[in-house]
Amino acid sequence: METTYIKTTQDGRAVEVIDGWVCLAGVREASSLVPLDEHPNRQAIARAVPGATHVAGRLPLTLEQAAIAQGALSAAQRIFDASPAGITQRIRKAVWDKTAAEGVE
């Protein structure tokens, strides 16, 4: 499990990138960052957190924090295997997960 520390919230919870997800106290929040300019609620976020430049789920991030998070997210995505064997394995896993969720054996 690859973990990258981003920041600690005011209430003491850790914001980290864990296995390609931005997490708050170990719970997944987002798999990507949204620039504040593109967020539908950007004005309220900018008023509440003046230094925010990006948002990950409900977590506002400064430029420095966003750069660290984006680096960790990008590193997690680099392990993508585009070979035929890698694609076959991902399809196999998706089918397995779907049948397991439906209770089919």
Amino acid at site 48? A
The per-residue pLDDT for range 21-67, each reduced to its tens digit, is 999 999 999 999 999 999 999 999 999 999 999 999 999 999 999 99
- Put residue 24 in one of left, alpha, beta given phi > 0 → left and psi -120 to 50 → alpha: beta
CB atoms within 10 A of CB 39: 16
Residue 78 has pLDDT above 80, yes or no: no
CA-derived radius of gyration, the chain: 17
User: CA-to-CA distance for 103 and 82, rounded, in angstroms?
Assistant: 30
Judge whether 21 and 29 are in contact, CB under 8 Å. Answer: yes
Residue 81 has pLDDT above 70, yes or no: no
User: CA-to-CA distance for 24 and 100, rounded, in angstroms?
Assistant: 28
Judge whether 25 and 59 are in contact, CB under 8 Å. Answer: no
User: CA-to-CA distance for 98 and 47, rounded, in angstroms?
Assistant: 43
